[in-house]
Amino acid sequence: MAAKIFGAAQGISTGPYRDELVKNLIMLYSSKHFEYVSYQVIIAAAKDMGISTVAETCQHIADEEKATAGALIKHRPTVVTEVINSAGTE
């Protein structure tokens, strides 16, 4: 799981800085929260309109986004430690 997170975080470019991986992780985490909140808005609208299938589908996706954000935070100490350790070897 950590390798997937590192790979995803590296895919978002923040520039050629030593703390690039940490910044990418923050950006990815923020993106997941943005997506989660966006789905919450759609869920509320779908419920108001009586479209339960859309609300249920979006709730499933929102739960996945929230879980991904949780995994990112869980691995944050590892990412920061790796960046600190690699900075000492450069």
- Provide the pLDDT for residue 42: 98
Q: Could you tell me if residue 63 is inside a domain? A: yes
- Provide the pLDDT for residue 90: 57
- Provide the pLDDT for residue 14: 45
Q: Could you tell me if residue 16 is inside a domain? A: no
Q: Could you tell me if residue 19 is inside a domain? A: no
Q: Could you tell me if residue 71 is inside a domain? A: yes
Q: Which domain holds residue 50?
A: 1-9+33-83
Q: Could you tell me if residue 65 is inside a domain? A: yes
Q: Could you tell me if residue 60 is inside a domain? A: yes
- Provide the pLDDT for residue 67: 95
DSSP track, 48-88 = HTT-HHHHHHHHHHHHHHHHHHHHHHHTHHHHHHHHHHHHT
- Provide the pLDDT for residue 22: 83
Q: Could you tell me if residue 17 is inside a domain? A: no
**Consecutive 10-residue runs of the chain (90 residues): their mean pLDDT?**
54 58 88 95 98 98 95 86 74
Q: How many domains does the chain have?
A: 1
Q: Could you tell me if residue 73 is inside a domain? A: yes
